């Protein structure tokens, strides 16, 4: 595609975005517009090739920068911009919908949903809260497949011991599927809840964030209720 045609196409997409909004652009047009400002060559063809291989901008953003530059001939500027997309989305979401108190399952779902924006692979997160369920500290404990993610009991115990809190949340994501827990999710949750109890701490909830839904173990009744504990202040709704 000639430079003149690329500029004309970019202007067309930019006007469409300005007049009709971001959602009016197709996935391919969104990527093409970004590439037209940061890559040489034909951005339309490159966008089509990338989406044909990776399926979505979300999946593309999880790809190694060096691999994109070497195998797909994506410029360094474009590769960095693509990687920044989910990071910026997550930061903007967290700022706009900042949740600091996890005193209900709905608040916990919203809080962890913001942490998994743009995540393609599974992640395991732990959050410590004080007696009023205000967030004190959050840490990503593991990445990868469920079997890899759940090999982190020592890290969970270490986080709990070093924390000044005795109430914790854990959360993980199902990036490409629903939030319904698997048998391994249920077993893992029970084991972690028991581990917390042995440390004199409590697991308020385990939240699973799916591609378009969220699941609360506490709300579902899969975590036993505790009487005379700080968890009485947690509302399941």
Q: What is the pLDDT of residues 113-123, one digit of tens each?
A: 888 876 667 88
pTM of the model: 0.65
The reply to whether 65 and 146 lie within a common domain is no
H or E stretch including 216? strand 214-216
pLDDT tier, 171 (very low <50, low <70, confident <90, very high otherwise): very high
Give the residue, 2 or 186, on which the prediction is more confident. 186
The reply to whether 86 and 116 lie within a common domain is no
The three-class DSSP label of residue 204 is strand
The reply to whether 66 and 14 lie within a common domain is yes
Q: Please provide the average confidence, as pLDDT, over all residues in the chain.
A: 84
The reply to whether 69 and 118 lie within a common domain is no
Give the residue, 127 or 155, on which the prediction is more confident. 127
The reply to whether 84 and 171 lie within a common domain is no
The reply to whether 58 and 103 lie within a common domain is no
State the pLDDT at residue 201. 92
The reply to whether 146 and 50 lie within a common domain is no
State the pLDDT at residue 147. 45
The boundaries of the domain holding residue 61 are 3-93
Which positions ≥6 away from 169 have C-beta within 8 Å? 102, 108, 112, 126, 127, 129, 203, 204, 205, 206, 207
SS3 content of the chain, % helix, strand, coil (to 5): 50, 15, 30
d(CA 202, CA 117): 27
Beta strands, E only, 35-155: 122-129, 135-144
Domain-terminating residue out of 67, 93, 119? 93
Q: Which of 1-10, 68-77, 170-179 has the highest mean pLDDT?
A: 170-179
Domain-terminating residue out of 64, 93, 122? 93
The reply to whether 102 and 43 lie within a common domain is no
Q: Taking each helix axis from N to C terminus, what angle separates 43-54 and 27-36, rounded to the nearest 10 degrees?
A: 130
Number of domains in the chain: 2
The reply to whether 101 and 86 lie within a common domain is no
pLDDT tier, 145 (very low <50, low <70, confident <90, very high otherwise): low
pLDDT tier, 215 (very low <50, low <70, confident <90, very high otherwise): very high
The reply to whether 215 and 119 lie within a common domain is yes
Domain-terminating residue out of 72, 93, 114? 93
- Find the range with the poorest average confidence among 1-15, 165-179, 217-231: 217-231
The reply to whether 61 and 123 lie within a common domain is no
């Amino acid at each position: 595609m000639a430079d003149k045609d690329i500029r004309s196409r970019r202007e067309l997409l930019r006007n469409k975005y300005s007049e009709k909004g971001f959602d009016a652009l197709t996935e391919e047009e969104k990527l093409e517009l970004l590439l037209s400002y940061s890559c040489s060559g034909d951005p339309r063809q490159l966008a089509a090739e990338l989406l044909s291989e990776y399926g979505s901008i979300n999946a593309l953003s999880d790809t190694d920068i060096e691999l994109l530059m070497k195998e797909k001939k994506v410029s360094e500027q474009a590769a960095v911009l693509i990687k920044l997309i989910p990071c910026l989305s997550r930061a903007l979401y967290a700022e706009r919908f900042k949740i600091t108190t996890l005193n209900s399952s709905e608040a916990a779902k919203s809080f962890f949903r913001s942490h998994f924006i743009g995540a393609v692979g599974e992640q395991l997160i732990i959050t410590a809260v004080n007696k009023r369920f205000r967030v004190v500290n959050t840490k990503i404990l593991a990445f990868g497949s469920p079997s890899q993610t759940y090999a982190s009991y020592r890290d969970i115990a270490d986080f709990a011991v070093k924390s000044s809190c005795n109430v914790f949340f854990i959360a993980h994501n199902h990036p490409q599927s629903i939030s319904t827990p698997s048998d391994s999710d249920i077993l893992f949750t029970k084991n972690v809840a028991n581990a917390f109890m042995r440390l004199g701490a409590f697991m308020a909830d385990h939240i699973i964030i799916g591609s378009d839904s969220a699941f609360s173990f506490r709300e579902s009744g899969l975590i036993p209720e505790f009487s005379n504990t700080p968890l009485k202040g947690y509302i399941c709704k």
